[in-house]
Amino acid sequence: MDKVKIIEVKQSVFASNDERADLLRKDLKDKGVFLLNLMSSPGSGKTTTLTKTINLLKDKMKIAVMEADIDSDVDAITIANTGVKAVQLHTGGMCHLDADMTRQGLESLEESDIDLAILENVGNLVCPAEFDTGACKNAMILSVPEGDDKPLKYPLMFSVCDVVLINKVDVADFFDFDMDKCVSNIKMRNKDAVIIPISAKTGEGIEDFVQWLADQVKEWKVK
């Protein structure tokens, strides 16, 4: 039997993605489900970060993950190996998910009582930032090898994010990456963004992200 389900999600036929996104957020609120949308360029460490995060949180809350990619099921299998429910969403070549595609993904999880649903969006610093998925919070990962100038080049991605994880700090010595410059570039785009340097490889900083995430889930459920 296949390890994970693969769902072909279809682009929304609805005119207003923003309205669909607000509706999805309201439904999530009513059900007490917190949805995190995780974005980044390909290979910055989304799946590795999620694996570490899930291992620290899975005994405290019920987690389910949607892995969105143009093809393959490798990320969903990686996440399913942590023991939480994971589905692979195929976007039919699209470089992002919209709110209705996200709703199709949530329905395909076929799970009740989820506390935390996570969407690993398609790896891309442009299109995913343009479409509200209906998530309660947006997270993005910028990894050290990509360079500290990315907030200057991709403003929207940084301005829509609630938290920015600066990943792969374990290899910082091998790159001309200026952490202070990076933080100030992010703050220029989004003064309210929470910034957490991490290494998904060594685990450095992951507990700080887990704490941030657990606080968001708690806050979403009580309000």
Ligand X SMILES: Nc1nc2c(ncn2[C@@H]2O[C@H](COP(=O)(O)OP(=O)(O)OP(=O)(O)O)[C@@H](O)[C@H]2O)c(=O)[nH]1
Which one, 128 or 134, has the nearer CB to ligand X? 128
* Residue 217, C-beta contacts closer than 8 angstroms, at least 6 positions apart: 34, 61, 115, 116
Asked if residues 198 and 158 have their Cβ atoms less than 8 Å apart, the reply is: no
Per CB under 6 A, the list member of 56, 95, 171, 183 interacting with ligand X is: 171
CA atoms within 13 A on the CB side of 152: 9
Which does residue 12 touch among Mg ion, ligand X, none (CB within 5 to 8 A, set by kind)? Answer: none
Per CB under 6 A, the list member of 12, 17, 37, 44 interacting with ligand X is: 44
Largest CA distance in the chain: 49
- Of 9, 33, 19, 11, the closest CA to residue 132 belongs to 19
By the 10 Å C-beta count (0-12 exposed, 13-18 middle, 19+ buried), 21 is classed as buried
Contact letters for ligand X, residues 53-82 (x by CB under 6 A): ----------------------x-------
Residue 47 in the binding site for Mg ion (CB under 5 A): yes
Rounded CA-CA distance 182/187 in Å is 9
Which does residue 216 touch among ligand X, Mg ion, none (CB within 5 to 8 A, set by kind)? Answer: none
- Segment interacting with ligand X, rule: CB under 6 A, options 83-91, 92-100, 154-162, 196-204: 196-204
Residues 122-161 that bind ligand X (CB under 6 A): 123
Residue 47 in the binding site for ligand X (CB under 6 A): yes
Which does residue 201 touch among ligand X, Mg ion, none (CB within 5 to 8 A, set by kind)? Answer: ligand X
Residue 40 in the binding site for ligand X (CB under 6 A): yes
Residue 43 in the binding site for ligand X (CB under 6 A): yes
Q: What is the DSSP string of 34-93?
A: EEEEEEESTTSSHHHHHHHHHHHHTTTS-EEEEEEESS-SHHHHHHHTTTSEEEEEE-TT
CA 42 vs. chain centroid, Å, equals 12
What size, in residues, is the chain?
Answer: 223
Per CB under 6 A, the list member of 200, 213, 214, 217 interacting with ligand X is: 200
Rounded CA-CA distance 119/135 in Å is 8
Residue 170 in the binding site for ligand X (CB under 6 A): yes
Which does residue 147 touch among Mg ion, ligand X, none (CB within 5 to 8 A, set by kind)? Answer: none
Residue 167 in the binding site for Mg ion (CB under 5 A): no
Which residues make up the interface to ligand X (CB under 6 A)?
40, 42-48, 75, 123, 167-168, 170-171, 199-201
Site residues, Mg ion (CB under 5 A): 46-47, 75
